[in-house]
Amino acid sequence: MALSSSLLPPLSNNNATSPANRKLFCGGDRGRIYATLTVQPPTEPSKASSLPIKKIPGDYGLPIVGPINDRHDYFYNQGREEFFKSRVQKYKSTVFRVNMPPGPLISSDPNVVVLLDGKSFPTLFDTSKVEKKDVFTGTYTPSLELTGGYRVLSYLDPSEPSHEKLKQLMFKLVSTTRHRVLPEFETSYSNLFDELENELATHGKAKFNEANDQAAFDFLARAWYGVNPEDSELGRTAPSIISKWVLFQLGPILTLGLPKPIEELTLHSFRLPFSLIKKDYKKLYNFFYQNSTDLLEEASKLGISRDEACHNLIFTTCFNSFGGMKIFFPNMIKQIGRAGVNLHRRLAEEIRSAVRSNGGKLTMSAMEQMPLMKSVVYESLRIEPPVPLQFGRAKKDLLIESHDAAYEVKEGEMLFGFQPFATKDPRIFDRAEEFVADRFVGEEGEEKLKHVLWSNGPETQSPTVHNKQCAGKDFVVLISRLLVVQLFLRYDSFGIDVGVSPLGAKITFTSLKRATF
């Protein structure tokens, strides 16, 4: 179903049919994928706060020296979590000033106002207060050569004309291919589990991350573009090409564990030249251009050139979606694995019972009958959101409230939020630092979903062409549920070893106990 304006009913002043209450259906039964089209309410001036107004603590230090010192603390001396935690303790505030990497020589202005609690953090979602133009990666923007010379959707503010057209195209991508999601996920991840079992039988352990990368891209190619990448020029090379391409974009804010002098010179002070991966990126481009005929035609109707549309499809598929699966799936396996066999047993019983009661088939309605499984996915997204860093630039003078105080921010200042602190806010969640599998079960649990913010917006809201919430929000939740379901349809329990990688957990399976009931 195309999400073009011609399909929308006429606007009405009646609240029951107002744009805020209309949803375009993109899924089956209660497991729906929605693309909600709303009209932004008029912007209201910032209201006075009943909380005490305090000066934002912290400072940026001397030019060049201050940003470099903060960069060294962030990457080497303290590490990311301690970097923020130590400053919360120092300033006795969840709102403060600091420099965010990369700083010199890549970023000309690394100064940010940090928002670390669940009350102040959602300011970053309010596009009446913050501008989202060119802030996707923070205080710097990667070379446009990496995206064909175009500012792709993630870097556009909703006020820019191309934003609405490109987001409509992404809604189209998700909605028209929904019928392939369940079968293609089962195919791709059955192959993954077969591979892991063979590796376990041979070596006594099996590495998940690389196998997951391959399964993730195979699934996305099959589900969204109707093609098996192994039958193309890409073969099985896509995951490695994408990883290199992402590194060229995110290198300035990553640490690879290399010696400090090498990382400082190669990643944190200079951009890696696109020429090193130009040929590989061309392979990706050719694959997507050849297999996106209908979407490229739709883009032309929306007024987007085929070339621009293709680069946006690459970014959405490879950076946003594949990247999310690459980071989040291992992190979720880590949380479930560490929770132990009792949770594994409960999940297996719930999942298999729901499938049996639906004629032995896995359907969207069957998954709606798995409250524990759904809660496990939401809790994983809460405790380790796949996109932890969010930015926005103040459109006007603002008064931002934390739980205890209000702070004045000037127009043009960069706001930054480290999401895991906001979603583990002890003023909002009990046992906030713990993985609580059934946290979101029942009415009281579902009420807390408004504080799950992984998608650049609350879980209780939907993406629209007027906001920056992830266009594939419901798709990501669905495939995350599918991973848990496929895992426990096949296995009673599993054992893992957990390491670290630049983008999250590194998972090695030490056992996979086949289903016995």
Q: What are 219-262's pLDDT values in tens digits?
A: 999 999 999 999 999 999 999 999 999 999 999 999 999 999 99
**Is residue 82 situated within a structural domain?**
yes
Both structure tokens of 392: 């926005």
**Is residue 42 situated within a structural domain?**
no
**Is residue 15 situated within a structural domain?**
no
Helix axes 341-356, 473-490, angle to 10 degrees: 100
| C-alpha–C-alpha distance, residues 212 and 321, integer Å | 13
**Is residue 11 situated within a structural domain?**
no
Percentage above 70 pLDDT, the chain? 91
**Is residue 420 situated within a structural domain?**
yes
Smallest Cα–Cα separation from 319: which of 222, 248, 423, 271? 248
Smallest Cα–Cα separation from 34: which of 480, 486, 485, 459? 459
Question: What pLDDT shows up at residue 183?
Answer: 97
**Is residue 396 situated within a structural domain?**
yes
**Is residue 218 situated within a structural domain?**
yes
Both structure tokens of 209: 């991350």
The mean of the pLDDT values for the chain is 92
Cis peptide before 105 (omega within 30 of 0): yes
| C-alpha–C-alpha distance, residues 499 and 506, integer Å | 5
**Is residue 6 situated within a structural domain?**
no
Q: What is the CATH number of the domain that holds 169?
A: 1.10.630.10
pLDDT surpasses 70 at 105: yes
The answer on whether 470 is annotated among ligand-binding residues is yes
Residue 18 banded pLDDT, cuts 50, 70, 90: very low
Please enumerate in sequence order all residues whose Cβ is within 8 A of that of 513, keeping only pairs 6 or more positions apart, or say none: 491, 492, 493, 494
Q: What is the pLDDT of residues 351-406, one digit of tens each?
A: 999 999 999 999 999 999 999 999 999 999 999 999 999 999 999 999 999 999 99
Both structure tokens of 295: 């979407």
How many other CB atoms are there within 10 angstroms of residue 145's CB atom? 15
Domains in the chain, number: 1
Residue 49 banded pLDDT, cuts 50, 70, 90: confident
Instruction: Give the domain range for residue 444.
Output: 53-514
The residue-averaged pLDDT of 325-338 equals 98
SS3 514: strand
Question: What pLDDT shows up at residue 47?
Answer: 58
| C-alpha–C-alpha distance, residues 423 and 453, integer Å | 7
Both structure tokens of 163: 């934003």
